[in-house]
Amino acid sequence: MTTRALVVNTGAANTASVFACLRRLDVEPVLAERADELESARIVVLPGVGAFESAMTRIREAGLAEALVRRIDSGAPTLAICLGLQLLCAASEESEGVAGLGVLPTTIRRFDASMPVPQLGWNQIEPSDECALLQPGWAVFANSYYLPEVPSGWSGAFTDYATRFVSAIERDGVLACQFHPELSGDWGQELLSRFIQRAKSA
């Protein structure tokens, strides 16, 4: 039986590329609009391309914020991509005064002017030894903001661009990537395949 994945509709997301990648991995993507759907879903994907404030507004107006927090806190299989990772944090320098989901008690920072912003293109991923899903490789980025440190209780991977920043974190069934695994060739597809296989066995 084909596995289904609920994709959160943030109103500013790369849903077309996420849907295409999931289908290549024999996963049926469906847009999630209601909190009760998130509670029982086997896999949830929180994608994002766009602004922190507009995405958080959409999530809160749809009544999805609390369900997402409960799901991630419980370690249920959840994939966050690009802006999706940033939304897990308490705040972002992109949208001062706007609260994020607060799963990660930190603030997203903006790259300084020493390098072109946004970062666009391929860069290297260097996971710590504690990571189970993340492996060394190259991935596609499109970001002006970054997670400065691995939160307590999580394992992470690092990338250098203007500074050394956290390019992905994982804990239990949750994987959050600043890069776009769905656009990162065979390496990205293999990462998503490992995530999905773990989700199926959870």
Tokens linked to 189: 């597809």
Cis peptide before 116 (omega within 30 of 0): no
The predicted structure's pLDDT at residue 13: 66
| 101 backbone dihedrals φ, ψ, rounded to 5° | -70, -25
Catalytic residue, candidates 21, 89, 170, 182:
182
pLDDT over 90 (residue 26)? yes
180 is catalytic: yes
Q: What is the pTM of this model?
A: 0.96
- Report the amino acid identity of residue 138: W
By percentage, how much of the chain surpasses pLDDT 70?
99
Handedness of CA 48, 181, 165, 8 (dihedral sign): positive
Q: Are the CB atoms for 92 and 107 separated by under 8 Å?
A: yes
Catalytic residue among 28, 37, 82, 96: 82
Whole-number Cα distances in Å, 188 to 104, 139, 179, 184: 24, 7, 9, 5
How far is 80 from 169, CA to CA, in rounded Å? 10
82 is catalytic: yes
Give the model's pLDDT for residue 11. 73
Average pLDDT, integer, range 144-161: 97
Contacts of 164 (CB under 8 A, 6+ apart): 158
Which is catalytic among the residues 126, 131, 180, 190?
180
* One-letter amino acid of 76: A
pLDDT of residue 40: 87
The pLDDT value recorded for residue 51 is: 92
Q: Which residue has the higher pLDDT, 64 or 33?
A: 64
Q: Could you give all domains of the chain from N- to C-terminal order, each with its CATH number?
A: 3-201 (3.40.50.880)
Is-catalytic flag, 170?
A: no
